[in-house]
Amino acid sequence: MLRPPLLIDPDEVEISAIRAQGAGGQNVNKVSSAVHLRYDIHASSLPADVKERLLALRDSRITQEGVFVLKAQQHRTQEMNRADALARLQAVIDSVATPPRVRRATKPTYGSKQRRLEGKSQRSQIKSLRGRVQD
């Protein structure tokens, strides 16, 4: 079941500009170049199964209310930080877009059982020879 790539609706993303932290001199003190992104998972247009897997992620950026909060301040310009934040959000959604494969239990073959037992008996023989030498 292949589904087309999930695209984020820009109307569902709330982006606000904030001042960046850290070193940067006068520019960082004057310009609001960092971006604070909020994405409400419950109110989004994502399919229900993707929402469920997204909310089940053990990610500290997802709040108790189901809002994905992201801060992007890597770049010097607001436009680049906005693009970076949207790309990071898209990467998280893409990571849960495909459902995990169901594991089907299998039984070991007869040959693999025999090889395992043969290896165990060889190892046992080696260890038994490590004992004290008796005349």
Over residues 47-73, the pLDDT tens digits come to 999 999 999 999 899 999 999 999 999
Over residues 112-127, the pLDDT tens digits come to 999 999 999 999 999 9
Q: Where are the alpha helices (DSSP H) in 46-77?
A: 48-55
Over residues 9-30, the pLDDT tens digits come to 888 999 999 888 877 677 777 8
Q: Token pair 């469920």 is at which residue? A: 52
Contacts of 50 (CB under 8 A, 6+ apart): 6, 93, 96, 97
Q: Helix, strand, or coil here: 62?
A: strand
**Domains by residue range for the chain, with CATH:** 10-97 (3.30.160.20)
- The number of residues in the chain equals 135
Over residues 73-111, the pLDDT tens digits come to 999 889 999 999 999 999 999 999 988 899 999 999 999
Quote the pTM value. 0.72
